[in-house]
Structure 1
Amino acid sequence: MENRVNELYDVVVVGGAFSGASTALLLRRERPQLRILIVERSEHFDRKVGEATTEISGCFLTKRLAMNHHLNHHHVPKHGLRFWFSQNASDSFGDCGELGGFYQTRLPTFQVDREVLDEYILAEAVAAGAELLRPARVKDIELGEKLQTLHLETTTGEHTVSAKFLVDASGRAGVLSRKLDLRRSLPDHPTRSIWARFRGVKDWDGYELKSRFPGYANSCQVSRATATNHLTGYGWWCWIIPLKGGDYSAGLVYDERLYTPPVGATAADRLKAHILNDPVGREIFGQAEVVEGDVKSYAPLPYYVDQIAGRGWQIVGDAAGFLDPLYSAGLDYCSWTVSSAVYRIEAELDGSPVDVPMINKHWLMSYHGWFNALYRDKYYYLGDKELMTAAMLMDLGLFFFGPVRSVVHCLKYGFGHLPFTGPMDSFVCKLMAFYNGRLAHIARKRHAAGVYGSENLRSRTLIAGFAPTPEVLKVVWRGVKVWLRAELRSARLPAVAEKEISAPAAPATVS
């Protein structure tokens, strides 16, 4: 759709997907007098990776954007996060270790189809009064003291538009960050990903598995099929996400220092071979088929920009950076950075001073703090159930006590503060980075001693749930006790050098 383009706007948003459309929608709802233009390159959004929300992005969608009706009718309610563990490809499905919820989740979360969600939010922004130019390509951007000028190419020719404020929400394309040479890699986290959509995936909660593995079926009350299920191993994990209509999104994420996927003629072949080499994956995906033309790969996954804000401009969402999809925090950072841009624009319109250097400082503190606290060297211990149990209990417990509690109790302005940027946040960040590093160290010792994942089989750790109240600290303490037990057991193992381990050869598959 292409609307008439005016020459001057209050705000021009480059990118019409989740982050760009949300920015425009919030601004139009809160300041309906603003003239806003959304510039979207694609004629229609493609089928992005199936994506899960956390309680942060779930709160943003349901409370900040008020989209419960759409989410409940066009996406799948998410019933928690679940990890699966094994020791060998030949292990029985019924023996595989499990870590996840026992009851339903307490706050709304969803498995979303990003193509559907992005189109809906964009339509809502247009209905709220934002103008849309689509398809349109940004040829050049001129940043000025008072006005930002964009030179655009559309199906009807070239256009030039100006705005008092420019928001870059162009995703991984990073239109503004590339122009200003702000984009940086994260070599300490060399992860790659292959993903596809599948049809014919077995029902996790169906009668076949219930009749064959009654202990599995009767061990918890929540639906496993609508959870975000993760298969795990040394140096890798796989997501399995259900989508409305029956398809599943499945993907492999791996640290290239530690793991090499099976060989195959195509990315789809490599992904499916990897999934079928896992006992849980083989049971659930044994008869599944890859949806043709719906396979993608990313390498490397993490990146970030040095600055997200400057005079008259701000970068939001995936254009600002991406870290790791393990805990589904991608849309969380979209929600936080969108909110930051909206608050800043509103403050400047009201004549209030805005500390742009502080915005950039907090962004870098949050991004690198999040990495150190949660992901640095985590792929060493992803496949060890005891270590991941300790991490999940502590990670998610502190996540609920901090960021989730912040947005639940202060809806609008809770989203305006990035995590790990306050004094208490900094302390918690250092604590999390410490135990994360210790768990990685224990994993290296176990791997070298040949006892990695020794508790992966015939073990289920089912959690009553997390809530954004002080009571969740009991869950954190439970995780601390698992960690300390692992430390004591590790003390008896031979010491290992703190160094990188080369990627092994591709694993042999089981027919």
Structure 2
Amino acid sequence: MKPDYDVVIMGGGLAGLTLSLQLKQERPETQILILEKRGESAPTAAHKVGESTVELGTYYLREVLDLKGYLDEKQLPKHGLRFFFSPRHKDTIEKRVELGPRERLPVPSHQLDRGTLENELIHRSRKSGNEIILGAKVEDVTLSPDTLHEVRFSTDTNKDQTVSAKWVVDATSRHALLKRKLGFAKEIEHNVNAVWFRVDREIDVTDWSSDEKWQSFLEPGLRRLGTIHLMDKGYWVWLIPLSSGATSVGIVADGDLHPFTEINRLERAMSWMEKHEPLAHQMISPLLDHVLDFKVLKHYAHNSGRIYSAEKWAVTGESGAFLDPFYSPGTDFISMNNTWLTDLIIRDMNGESIELHASVYEKTHLALFDSWIPVYQNKYQLMGSTQIMVIKIFWDWAIYWGIPCLLFTNKGYTNLSVLKRLFSNDESAGRRFGALNNQMQKVFLEWLPYDTGDFTERYIDPFDIQFLREFHRGIEEQFSPRELITKVEENLEKLEKIAAEIFRLISNQVHGTPMDIPVDPYTMQLFPEENQSLKTSIAPDKEMNEQVRVMWFYPVKETVS
């Protein structure tokens, strides 16, 4: 029996719409239906969270989907992620330690008005030949891999419609139809909540101080274009400018340290802000008459036991797994998710067996997600510790730019030979990368009681550090598969040296140990229960030590063993 469609995508948000474009781009004859429950165009300054992109997701939108011209013309450029620490000085922004790029970045990213973007994606998807039904509520899915899947949905004018398809993709976001139907939800221990609202006015933190020296750190207008993070223990507050002229304001907080009931209504959120971010409250409270909406998301992190099936169904976007918005990774995971899924669907449509690819892609996707959990889990308690967070953010950027971004822009995630070489065993570079990051994140937690310094009036630019410049500029460099593997292994070796030098500085500050102690970055601990084994001892590296010290605030006890 001939199907009504090759692919039915349930959900017409960012994940589903970008998937429809990618599939059509790769195989124009593919017949695609998108069912979206929203009955009309998305509003400007839409209620959705996720306005900030970073490098991997930006590459996907600009280069893979060819949205470069649209993004440059209709959406705002983003001047990186910008962080304000020094919690004892929250009423005087120029006294806070500030982390962010001074100059315009070589690799672009964007601040997205999701409503405007999704309307554009609907237009482009329809123009490419895809069918989109707005106001369509999916009622049920009958999966029949040996024949055809059936999707039953209703609209205002027709209460019971059924279509058949070779492939069914769940892009229903947190509704997660397939996850609930097939029971593959997984819990994740990350009790963090978010609330956010839009103000129909520009908010520019540059206006929060008249200090001329502080004003001079950046070109006029660049601070406003960053994704602003105001931070203290257990929370961060975001400010994100939108192309509509509105500003998105959000509070993301650990529920164990800042109960959800303190922020889950606008008046409560503002009272909380008055207590914890008094300057932000002072600047935002006069604008409350211009609030466009207010949304909440309780315990937003969720995991998934399945992503792709050789039986021709899959999930994408938040229908699968979602971790945390702190580094704006949502579009990144959509980009990887859709790229793996597009590869599977195109292979299947071309008559190839996809069992091996589906299995490898799912394992890789879930392992990658699991490897990022330690970046966020239990880390909100670190957000009031200035030195820890400066080091951690630079470390997290280094690992992100140095390996995952590089693999994506070089199509490494859909090359089985590359994946086999990098992830086949515990000694392969991809597995060691995950282990190295996990150990570094444990060290940050061990260090917490000892980072008590009150640091103030400092500006830290990530691009003052050579290895971060090199990792960032290398994102768009193109390699053959063999060269890519070599480059990943070289970057991992550099990351091992960075980790070792960071640990030497931390141990020097906590214990007074010499700066030339042997360090195994895979077993390093500030308080080992017994003598640590040194299977991989990294020798001191003077050049790397000098780079790491750019982000180090404590005095160093210059001793040698």
Q: Is the 8 A contact 1:50 1:241 kept in 2?
A: no
Equivalent in 262, 274, 288 of residue 272 of structure 2? 274
Give the aligned partner of residue 254 of structure 2. 255
Give the aligned partner of residue 7 of structure 2. 11
Give the aligned partner of residue 350 of structure 1. 350
Give the aligned partner of residue 510 of structure 2. 490
Query: C-alpha offsets along residues 423-455 of structure 1, whole Å, 9 cap, x if unaligned?
Result: 312211111111111112211x24xxxx64x23
- The TM-score, its normalising length taken from structure 2, stands at 0.78
Q: Letter of the aligned partner of 1:485 in structure 2?
A: L
Q: For 1:232, what is the secondary structure of its paired residue?
A: strand
Q: Offset of 1:408 from its aligned partner?
A: 3.3
What is the alpha-carbon distance in structure 2 between the residues aligned to residue 228 and residue 71 of structure 1? Answer: 17
Tell me whether 1:72 sits opposite 2:77 in the alignment: no
Q: Which one has a larger percent helix, Structure 1 or Structure 2?
A: 2
Tell me whether 1:168 sits opposite 2:170 in the alignment: yes
1:478–1:246 distance in 2 versus 1, CA, 3 Å: farther
Give the aligned partner of residue 3 of structure 1. none
Query: C-alpha offsets along residues 195-248 of structure 1, whole Å, 9 cap, x if unaligned?
Result: 111244543345x73xx2112111234811100110111111111111113211
Give the aligned partner of residue 204 of structure 1. 205
Give the aligned partner of residue 49 of structure 1. 49
Q: Is the 8 A contact 1:196 1:290 kept in 2?
A: no
1:424–1:282 distance in 2 versus 1, CA, 3 Å: same
Unpaired runs of at least 5, structure 2? 475-486, 513-525, 530-561
- Cα RMSD, aligned residues only: 3.1
Unpaired runs of at least 5, structure 1? 1-5, 499-511
Q: For 1:225, what is the secondary structure of its paired residue?
A: coil
1:322–1:60 distance in 2 versus 1, CA, 3 Å: same
1:215–1:417 distance in 2 versus 1, CA, 3 Å: farther
Tell me whether 1:34 sits opposite 2:30 in the alignment: yes
What is the alpha-carbon distance in structure 1 between the residues aligned to residue 333 and residue 346 of structure 2? Answer: 20
Give the aligned partner of residue 442 of structure 1. 447
Give the aligned partner of residue 554 of structure 2. none
Q: Summarize the alignment of residues 236-251 of structure 1 with structure 2, pairs less than 5 Å apart.
A: 236-251=235-250
Query: C-alpha offsets along residues 370-407 of structure 1, whole Å, 9 cap, x if unaligned?
Result: 112x1122112122121111111111112111122223
Q: Is the 8 A contact 1:235 1:258 kept in 2?
A: yes
What is the alpha-carbon distance in structure 2 between the residues aligned to residue 483 and residue 275 of structure 1? Answer: 35
Q: Offset of 1:90 from its aligned partner?
A: 6.0
1:160–1:286 distance in 2 versus 1, CA, 3 Å: closer
Q: Letter of the aligned partner of 1:318 in structure 2?
A: E
Q: Is the 8 A contact 1:203 1:284 kept in 2?
A: no
Q: For 1:289, what is the secondary structure of its paired residue?
A: helix
Q: Is the 8 A contact 1:193 1:301 kept in 2?
A: yes
Q: Offset of 1:129 from its aligned partner?
A: 0.4
Q: Which one has a larger percent strand, Structure 1 or Structure 2?
A: 1
Query: C-alpha offsets along residues 240-295 of structure 1, whole Å, 9 cap, x if unaligned?
Result: 1111132111111111223337847x611222233343255246535332644511
What is the alpha-carbon distance in structure 1 between the residues aligned to residue 128 and residue 313 of structure 2? Answer: 22
Q: Is the 8 A contact 2:57 2:332 kept in 1?
A: yes
Q: Letter of the aligned partner of 1:487 in structure 2?
A: S
What is the alpha-carbon distance in structure 1 between the residues aligned to residue 417 and residue 89 of structure 2? Answer: 46
Q: Offset of 1:475 from its aligned partner?
A: 9.2
What is the alpha-carbon distance in structure 2 between the residues aligned to residue 267 and residue 109 of structure 1? Answer: 31
Tell me whether 1:400 sits opposite 2:373 in the alignment: no
Q: Letter of the aligned partner of 1:242 in structure 2?
A: P
Tell me whether 1:316 sits opposite 2:320 in the alignment: no
1:417–1:279 distance in 2 versus 1, CA, 3 Å: farther
What is the alpha-carbon distance in structure 1 between the residues aligned to residue 298 and residue 24 of structure 2? Answer: 36
Query: C-alpha offsets along residues 20-57 of structure 1, whole Å, 9 cap, x if unaligned?
Result: 11111122222222211111111133511251101111
Give the aligned partner of residue 286 of structure 2. 287
What is the alpha-carbon distance in structure 2 between the residues aligned to residue 435 and residue 393 of structure 1? Answer: 12
Q: Summarize the alignment of residues 293-332 of structure 1 with structure 2, pairs less than 5 Å apart.
A: 294-310=293-309, 311-332=311-332
Q: Is the 8 A contact 1:336 1:417 kept in 2?
A: no
1:229–1:261 distance in 2 versus 1, CA, 3 Å: same
Of 37-46 and 197-206, the range deviating more from structure 2:
197-206
Give the aligned partner of residue 82 of structure 2. 82
Query: C-alpha offsets along residues 131-152 of structure 1, whole Å, 9 cap, x if unaligned?
Result: 1122111111100022110111
Equivalent in 213, 218, 221 of residue 220 of structure 1? 218
What is the alpha-carbon distance in structure 1 between the residues aligned to residue 38 and residue 62 of structure 2? Answer: 26
Q: Letter of the aligned partner of 1:340 in structure 2?
A: W
What is the alpha-carbon distance in structure 2 between the residues aligned to residue 133 and residue 416 of structure 1? Answer: 40
Q: For 1:336, what is the secondary structure of its paired residue?
A: helix
Q: For 1:88, what is the secondary structure of its paired residue?
A: helix
1:213–1:415 distance in 2 versus 1, CA, 3 Å: farther
What is the alpha-carbon distance in structure 2 between the residues aligned to residue 348 and residue 179 of structure 1? Answer: 24
Q: Is the 8 A contact 1:340 1:416 kept in 2?
A: no
Equivalent in 181, 184, 187 of residue 182 of structure 1? 184
What is the alpha-carbon distance in structure 2 between the residues aligned to residue 421 and residue 113 of structure 1? Answer: 37
Tell me whether 1:431 sits opposite 2:436 in the alignment: yes
Tell me whether 1:361 sits opposite 2:366 in the alignment: no
Q: Is the 8 A contact 1:13 1:167 kept in 2?
A: yes
Q: Is the 8 A contact 1:191 1:302 kept in 2?
A: yes
Of 476-485 and 458-467, the range deviating more from structure 2:
476-485
Q: For 1:404, what is the secondary structure of its paired residue?
A: helix
Q: Is the 8 A contact 1:232 1:238 kept in 2?
A: yes
1:166–1:240 distance in 2 versus 1, CA, 3 Å: same
The structure with higher relative contact order (CA 8 Å, sep 6+) is 1
Q: Would you say how many aligned residue pairs link Structure 1 and Structure 2? A: 480
What is the alpha-carbon distance in structure 1 between the residues aligned to residue 298 and residue 373 of structure 2? Answer: 18
- The TM-score, its normalising length taken from structure 1, stands at 0.86
Of 18-27 and 267-276, the range deviating more from structure 2:
267-276
What is the alpha-carbon distance in structure 1 between the residues aligned to residue 214 and residue 75 of structure 2? Answer: 27
